[in-house]
């Protein structure tokens, strides 16, 4: 285990913040995927807030079955079991809620000396200066009309200086953008704390309290997007968490997160 990712440090920081999630906490040197660990624990009854962190993953995955680059000692790989008290049909926007919480937590780590906005490229990318700093992968298990459990998997590139060739042009890290404090334990606790503040609000009022933040951080606003052959410009995110796309035909399209889309170069 590298020095900046120690379970005791994460717990101390969770206590300092008064975080309501993050326990029980598991921090390991190596695993397949923290999200697989969290899913197995959730299926075995792990409580809301159970958290799994690893220094490295051998089978880290992103959305759409992509591999998530997960070398040791460099980045944060964290998954939380959530059991939100919302109906299954209302739970999908939780991915955006987690994204906003992670963006706020990262900005806090960046500090006021570095006035960088962490954008959200719908539905799950955390973007700084046009490059991907991290991502959120939300997977759920439903039981009829109820949510049995959600696993929110979060990856943030922290120290990485050279990425694999296929992602090098579009990936960045906290170090690359000039962040001075690269302690992963503190970053993890900050993310867990922020998610803990966001979930009760989501349970009460859905996505509505987060729409302002989403709009401010919307990396697809006015970007050219192709969704299954419909081409247009991003026009925000609606209260159900859909991407709004103003088609070149003048019509407003609502895109759900399951649909494949491509961001076109201007």
Site residues (vs ligand BTN, CB under 6 A): 33-35, 57, 60-63, 66, 68, 77-79, 124-125, 135-137, 153-155
Q: Which is nearer to ligand BTN, 60 or 236 (CB)?
A: 60
Pairing of strands 224-227, 230-237: antiparallel
Q: Which is nearer to ligand BTN, 78 or 219 (CB)?
A: 78
Smallest gap from residue 215 Cβ to ligand BTN (A) = 21
Smallest gap from residue 120 Cβ to ligand BTN (A) = 11
The residues, ordered by sequence, that sit 6+ positions from 214 with a Cβ below 8 Å of its Cβ are: 96, 100, 120, 207, 237
Q: Which is nearer to ligand BTN, 61 or 242 (CB)?
A: 61
Smallest gap from residue 154 Cβ to ligand BTN (A) = 6
Question: In this structure, what token pair is assigned to residue 90?
Answer: 């209302």
How many CB atoms neighbour CB 100 within 10 A?
25
Question: In this structure, what token pair is assigned to residue 191?
Answer: 């993310």
Question: In this structure, what token pair is assigned to residue 232?
Answer: 């247009």
Q: Which is nearer to ligand BTN, 102 or 232 (CB)?
A: 102
Name the residue with the smallest CB distance to ligand BTN: 135
Rounded distance, CA 49 to CA 122, Å?
25
* Helix ranges restricted to H, 18-154: 34-43, 94-110
Smallest gap from residue 139 Cβ to ligand BTN (A) = 9
């Amino acid at each position: 285990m590298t020095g900046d990712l120690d379970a005791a440090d994460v717990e101390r920081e969770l206590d300092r913040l008064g975080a309501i999630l993050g326990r029980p906490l598991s921090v390991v040197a190596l695993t397949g995927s923290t999200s697989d660990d969290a899913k197995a624990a959730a299926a075995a009854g792990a409580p809301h807030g159970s958290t799994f962190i690893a220094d490295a993953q051998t089978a880290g995955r992103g959305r759409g079955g992509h591999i998530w680059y997960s070398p040791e000692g460099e980045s944060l790989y964290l998954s939380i079991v959530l059991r939100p008290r919302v109906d299954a049909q209302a739970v999908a926007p939780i991915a955006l809620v987690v994204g906003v919480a992670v963006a706020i937590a990262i900005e806090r780590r960046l500090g006021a000396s570095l006035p960088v906005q962490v954008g959200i490229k719908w539905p799950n990318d955390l973007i700084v200066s046009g490059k991907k700093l991290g991502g959120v992968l939300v997977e759920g298990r439903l039981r009829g009309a109820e949510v049995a459990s959600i696993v929110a998997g979060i990856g943030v590139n922290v120290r990485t200086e050279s990425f694999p060739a296929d992602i090098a042009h579009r990936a960045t890290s906290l170090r690359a953008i000039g962040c001075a404090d690269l302690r992963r334990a503190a970053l993890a606790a900050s993310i867990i704390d922020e998610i803990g503040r966001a979930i009760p609000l989501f349970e009460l009022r859905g996505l509505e309290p987060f729409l302002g933040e989403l709009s401010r951080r919307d990396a697809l606003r006015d970007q050219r997007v192709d969704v299954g052959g419909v081409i247009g410009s991003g026009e925000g995110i609606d209260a159900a968490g859909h991407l709004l796309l103003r088609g070149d035909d003048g019509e407003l399209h609502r895109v759900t997160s399951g649909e494949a889309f491509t961001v076109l170069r201007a």
